Amino acid sequence: MSGSAGADEVLWNLDDLYGGGDDPRLEQDLSESMQRAQRFAAAYRGRVSGLGAAELAGSIGEYEQILELSGKAGTFTYLHWSTNTEDPARGALLQRLQEHSSRLQQQLLFFELEWAHVDEARAEQLLADPDLARYRFWLILTRRYRPHLLSEAEEKILAEKSVTGRSAWVRFFEEVHSGARYTLEGQKLPQQSILTRLYDPDRGQRQRAAEAFTEGLQTMRRVNTYVFNNLLADKASDDGLRSYPSWISARNLSNQIADATVEALVGAVTGRYSVVARYYTLKKRLLGIEELFDYDRYAPLPSAGRRHHWREAKTTVVEAYTGFLPEMGEIAESFFAKRWIDAAVRPGKRGGAYSHGAVPSVHPYIFMNYEGTPRDVMTLAHELGHGVHQYLSRGQGILSADTPLTTAETASVFGEMLVFQSMMAAEQDPQIRLSMLVQKIEDTFATVFRQTAMNRFEEAIHTARRSDGELTAERFSELWMETQKEMFQGSVTLTESYGIWWSYIPHFIHSPGYVYAYAFGELLVLALYARYREAPEGFPSAYRELLASGGSNWPEELVKPLGVDLKDPGFWDKGLGMIEEFVAQAESMAEM
């Protein structure tokens, strides 16, 4: 399948980082970063509260340079490992970098700790000084963690133990799932390929693929249950040590969003689960079946079967970006021309897709597994949205280039919307247009409703692990099915096999609490796109400035120039209403 999609030779060139795992520059940068960190600690430890604004700004500049060196090495080793997780040498190099990062963190953590504990009056005086204007917002964010910071000695212990604790379990989970093979019709398939078959037009193929995936997950059930339990316990321990009031509080603080706002988002989305049931009732009719099973959720309509060659996908995405803002198209083109993308499906490569921002002195890289499906085109659009965002925000420096997760998905989902609208405008066949709309609805559901249902699952497992102790695989499955059934409201029949499907989702492992950010980002984009349609004049340039701002201000302040008020109580309902309009449009098109 991948061979006919034209992406077999789409392999990234990491030379802008290093020439390989044995590149002497890698060793030099590791050594230099540690030496500079040691000199930095000797120069500033115990002095931060007494620094003047100019000297503090200079020290932050030095701090950034050290993080750049270490971040460049860390980026390379992770990207290098991602494309072949079965190579022991790459795994060993990744482990070495994690250990180096831990030692480096121990040298540097005094800096943020001391700043966080600077007297309030003195801190306000410094923050008002023009010499610190570039770093002002980062300094404000750092002080917000003050109630949750431990002593330097305690922080060093946690950093040291994380290498053989949380980080080790995350890597183990990744390698287990990257190396897993699922037997389907005599073939041994990796996760990405088996999941792709859930989008096959043949119902029997979808069912067999689901059964094969379930069978594979069952063989890993004991391992996954143990990994989940350990990481849930680790999170509970961390939260307790840092005095976070709930399992989600640390994530919300990182996302620069109040607990009450997250609760409002989740409440608004779960309150509209009826839209999910309405859509899947329509889909049963479109497919001509009486009962829709979990493996039928992503079944394409009969008119949606064609594949997209890599060259076609590239042209589609770049042209859509260019039509919105030429600079965005130029940046997107660079990813292809300069080989900043790895899209080939091959053994040992981890599943999924991501855009890695790398470090400001280099550029982002995009990772995906391209097999030519319409959804793969949208994944390319999504990750290029991230890539353009990361490319433009580099000017903010390593401390402020990244956005919180709540707004990190803005550019990616907006990119998808641009490509979707472009493809819809170019398509004349009403049946194909309907199939495209159906796919868009399902992708939006996956981003808003499914991610919120997964947030409810996370809430349940973190709460249960803290109150009941170690959870069995059966208990995980029970909580998974409960939260999934709430979303579907009887419109989809969930088979018993589906109960184990919680165990492969990496976000629960990598970034506890992450998933609601997808819903936040999607609903924000719906609001932004509505504004663009209403008042297109000047919008692209304002949007470009939003991306270039990175994480240099509060999310609600960054989106204000685009006419969006994140503090508006009705904000979520506006986006959810647009999703319901998509469903109503599909119902109307189905009647034609």
For residue 581, is pLDDT > 80?
A: yes
Say what the pLDDT of residue 304 is.
59
H-run or E-run covering 99 = helix 88-116
User: Among 105-109, 424-428, 456-460, which stretch is predicted with the lowest mean pLDDT?
Assistant: 424-428
Exposure string for 139-156, b = 16+ CB within 10 A, e = fewer: bebbbeeeebbeeeeebb
Say what the pLDDT of residue 121 is.
96
For residue 2, is pLDDT > 50?
A: no
Say what the pLDDT of residue 427 is.
85
In this prediction, residues 245-256 reach a mean pLDDT of 94
For residue 361, is pLDDT > 80?
A: yes
Exposure string for 184-208, b = 16+ CB within 10 A, e = fewer: beeeebbbbbbbbbbbbeeeebbbb
In this prediction, residues 403-410 reach a mean pLDDT of 87
Rounded Cα gap, residues 293 and 218, in angstroms: 20
Q: What tens digit of pLDDT does each residue of 279-327 get?
A: 999 999 999 999 999 999 999 887 655 788 999 999 999 999 999 999 9
Residue 550 neighbours by CB distance under 10 Å: 24
Contacts of 484 (CB under 8 A, 6+ apart): 453, 457, 494, 498
For residue 387, is pLDDT > 50?
A: yes
Residue 243 neighbours by CB distance under 10 Å: 11
Please report, for residues 36, 269, 483, the alpha-carbon distance to residue 233 in angstroms, rounded to integers and kept in the order given: 36, 28, 21
Say what the pLDDT of residue 494 is.
97
For residue 3, is pLDDT > 80?
A: no
Residue 172 neighbours by CB distance under 10 Å: 15
Mind listing the domains of the chain with CATH numbers?
24-170 (1.20.140.70), 190-338+373-592 (1.10.1370.20)
User: Among 166-175, 235-244, 250-259, 566-575, which stretch is predicted with the lowest mean pLDDT?
Assistant: 566-575
Q: What tens digit of pLDDT does each residue of 435-476 get?
A: 989 999 999 999 999 999 999 999 999 999 999 999 999 999
Contacts of 273 (CB under 8 A, 6+ apart): 449, 486, 487, 488, 489
Mean pLDDT of the chain: 93
For residue 1, is pLDDT > 50?
A: no
Say what the pLDDT of residue 305 is.
59
User: Among 189-203, 299-313, 329-343, 538-552, which stretch is predicted with the lowest mean pLDDT?
Assistant: 299-313
Say what the pLDDT of residue 303 is.
66
Q: What tens digit of pLDDT does each residue of 113-154 get?
A: 999 999 999 999 999 999 999 999 999 999 999 999 999 899
Given a contact cutoff of 8 angstroms between Cβ atoms, the answer to whether 503 and 225 are in contact is yes
In this prediction, residues 64-71 reach a mean pLDDT of 96
What number of residues does the chain have? 592
pTM of the model: 0.84
For residue 407, is pLDDT > 90?
A: no
Highest mean pLDDT among 35-39, 96-100, 518-522: 35-39
For residue 62, is pLDDT > 80?
A: yes
